[in-house]
Amino acid sequence: EAEVAQSPRYKITEKSQAVAFWCDPISGHATLYWYRQILGQGPELLVQFQDESVVDDSQLPKDRFSAERLKGVDSTLKIQPAELGDSAMYLCASSFSTAHSGNTIYFGEGSWLTVV
């Protein structure tokens, strides 16, 4: 069964350092999402891509977070500089299309970030 791949699974970084997460969506999925899940809370959307274009980044802290999907396939989420409050799980997800709200969104295993 096809899966959304994410790396690294776990990352510990010091405050003010840079950190990056990588995601490879299910083949053929045009839509890619990055969600942040703080411990004990539900996932919150950070950024959404349709192919290589950002279609929603309203909740992305743009002073320190950036995301790209250059060829419309895999994606990188970067944080620079990292802050203590960024400690969370970063989930990547993908779906075939956003043309219909009922399309299933598939999630990766997540990347745990701990900022010390």
Partner 1 sequence: AQSVTQLDSQVPVFEEAPVELRCNYSSSVSVYLFWYVQYPNQGLQLLLKYLSGSTLVKGINGFEAEFNKSQTSFHLRKPSVHISDTAEYFCAVSVFSGGYNKLIFGAGTRLAVHP
Where along the sequence are the contacts to partner 1 (CB under 8 A)? 4, 6, 31, 33, 40-45, 48, 50, 55-56, 91, 93, 98, 100-110, 112
| Residue number with CB closer to partner 1 (65 or 106) | 106
- CA Rg value for the chain: 13
Closest approach, Cβ 40 to partner 1, in A, equals 8
- Which residues, other chains included, contact 28 with Cβ-Cβ below 8 Å and sequence gap of 6+? 96
Closest approach, Cβ 81 to partner 1, in A, equals 26
**Residue 14 Cα to chain centre, angstroms:** 20
| Residue number with CB closer to partner 1 (20 or 89) | 89
- Torsion angles phi and psi, residue 70, rounded to 5: -60, -45
| Residue number with CB closer to partner 1 (12 or 55) | 55
Alpha-carbon distance 77 to 24, whole Å?
12
